């Protein structure tokens, strides 16, 4: 027993989510280094000290933002791929989901595509955390395609998975930095053809 009622746990979880939501807006609009814990607390509607009940420091908030976003992304990806057949269709679904989810929240995209890239330490931590899980999903789909003959027999699924992720990541970064009022997901058909062209067998 931890002494917390279900209602108290829900309240605590809701407060943590509010803090992360507030941090997303503030960091995206003002930058990580210009955003203070006090500013995040004010937007979240909590006392400054409350932040430290959930996070050790501002750095942990930033990492938690990425982990939450990627965790949701992986869960949706696994849900969407479940029951699907055909590696090409699965890869098409991954491309569409990636660009759609990134394009839905520009503030979060600014953090994942720009703010997090300023620190090698952050990148090392995140690479060891959940990014590997996402790359494994792509690699598994490519391995299925190789085994079925849909994709080139000479492909290394792990390497090819990283290449596919690189294409999607670069598209998202370009969209964020361009500041154009366009829908990222509208690029999905074109990007899908590019990605499938990279891996498809010649048969």
Cα 88 off chain centre by: 22
pTM: 0.83
As for how many domains the chain has, the answer is 2
83 and 172 share a domain?
yes
51 and 125 share a domain?
no
Domain boundary among 36, 55, 74: 55
3 and 85 share a domain?
no
Domain boundary among 30, 55, 80: 55
10 and 93 share a domain?
no
83 and 30 share a domain?
no
| Cα Rg of the chain, angstroms | 19
145 is in which domain, residue-wise? Answer: 58-199
62 and 125 share a domain?
yes
**Average model confidence (pLDDT) for the chain?**
87
Dihedral sign for Cα 12, 13, 16, 18, please.
negative
Determine what percent of the chain falls in helix, strand and coil, rounding each to the nearest 5.
80, 0, 20
4 and 94 share a domain?
no
> How many degrees, rounded to 5, is the angle at CA 107 between CA 103 and CA 113?
70
**Cβ neighbour number for residue 83 with a 10 Å cutoff:** 6
Helices 58-81 and 131-148: crossing angle in degrees, nearest 10, is 20
Regions of the chain with pLDDT less than 50: 1
Q: What per-residue confidence (pLDDT) applies to 173?
A: 92
Rounded Cα distance, 95 and 161, in Å: 12
Rounded Cα distance, 117 and 105, in Å: 18
Q: What per-residue confidence (pLDDT) applies to 1?
A: 42
Rounded Cα distance, 69 and 107, in Å: 12
Local structure of residue 87 (DSSP, 8 states) = H
- The predicted-structure confidence for 88-121, as pLDDT tens digits, reads as follows 999 999 999 999 999 988 999 998 888 877 665 6
29 and 62 share a domain?
no
Q: What per-residue confidence (pLDDT) applies to 114?
A: 85
64 and 138 share a domain?
yes
* CATH code for position 159: 1.10.357.10
Distance of CA 58 to CAs 19, 20, 99, Å?
A: 11, 11, 28
């Amino acid at each position: 027993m931890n002494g917390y009622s279900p209602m108290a746990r829900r309240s605590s979880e809701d407060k943590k989510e509010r803090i992360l939501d507030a941090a997303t807006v503030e960091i995206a609009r003002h930058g990580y280094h210009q955003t203070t814990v006090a500013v995040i607390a004010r937007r979240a509607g909590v006392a400054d000290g409350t932040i430290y009940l959930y996070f050790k420091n501002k750095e942990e908030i930033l990492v938690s933002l990425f982990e939450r976003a990627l965790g949701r992304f992986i869960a949706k990806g696994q849900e969407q791929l479940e029951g699907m057949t055909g590696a090409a269709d699965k890869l098409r679904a991954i491309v569409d989901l990636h660009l759609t989810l990134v394009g839905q929240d520009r503030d979060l995209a600014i953090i994942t595509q720009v703010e997090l890239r300023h620190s090698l330490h952050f990148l090392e931590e995140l690479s060891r955390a959940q990014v590997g899980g996402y790359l494994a999903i792509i690699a598994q789909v490519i391995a299925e395609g190789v085994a079925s003959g849909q994709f080139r027999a000479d492909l290394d699924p792990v390497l090819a998975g990283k290449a596919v992720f690189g294409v999607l990541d670069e598209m998202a970064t370009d969209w964020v930095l361009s500041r154009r009022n366009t829908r990222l997901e509208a690029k999905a058909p074109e990007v899908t053809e590019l990605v499938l062209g990279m891996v498809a067998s010649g048969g």
